[in-house]
Amino acid sequence: MTTSIASPALRSISLDRVGYDDTPADRVDRSVPVEAPIAIEYNGIGYAVMMGTPTDLADFVTGFTLSEGLAHADELSEPQVVPVEGGWVARLNLPPRSLPQILERARSRISESGCGICGIDSIAAALAPLPKVVARIEVAREAIAHALKALSDRQLLCQATGATHAAAFCAPTGEILAVREDVGRHNALDKLVGTLARSGVSPATGFVLLSARCSQELVEKCVRAGFPLLITISAPTSLAIDRAREAGLALGVLARHDTMLIANDPHKLIV
């Protein structure tokens, strides 16, 4: 479940580098991550247009589908990913029971770097009750520190660009088992959910480490996927903490090399 930089992920661009004095500019080449529209179609029906990095797109559409609650992992076929002029189309066939939800929510939704809530009209729909987290693992704080230390070496696209997020799936020992990257933190997490589903790995057996701030959407995606524990490098929002507590998701935030804040841990998973 390892990943490497693919050619669609990077572009090299020449830029003028200037100081804040009268020193003449010099020309530099800089690698930047590709951001492109990714259209998602279910059963031939256009559902959403997301902005993201066009790598691991089969993982992305699988994880997005599971995060949206449209189907279960064992109901999904292999996605078809097709390059088109200006972007990509990811196609997936879902079971007939999913059709009413697809038709209800179907729309062309362009959202900045994969925001999962843009375009939802109803606040009640946006804050629908979450399932309860039932998975239980025990993770030593030393294991979390080990995963934090190892993450940067696995962020190949970020090393090249400095402009992408990573979502990592870690064993309770802190070993990083899979990493997915994207310009959008939501997209990176969807890709991770997708690669686990396509590999037959249960999210209940490990925890997620995100190189991003903790938003409500990321908490909800983790809950729906079935992860017991989420660790984020940056700070949480109030709603992210509220939703984690509502669902019983263990949540550690502002995870640094020396300290971490525990925002929620009702079952004492972090030891």
Contact predicate 113/184, CB 8 Å: yes
Query: What is the spatial distance between Cα 92 and Cα 6, in angstroms, rounded to a whole number?
Result: 22
Number of H helices, E strands in the chain: 8, 13
Q: 115 catalytic, yes or no?
A: yes
Tokens (6 digits) for 126: 């946006």
Contact predicate 90/57, CB 8 Å: yes
Residue 152 identity: S
Strand 26-33 relative to strand 10-17: parallel, antiparallel, unpaired? antiparallel
Contact predicate 218/201, CB 8 Å: no
Give me the residue label for tokens 């449209």: 70
Set 115, 170, 214, 222: catalytic member? 115
Active site residues: 115
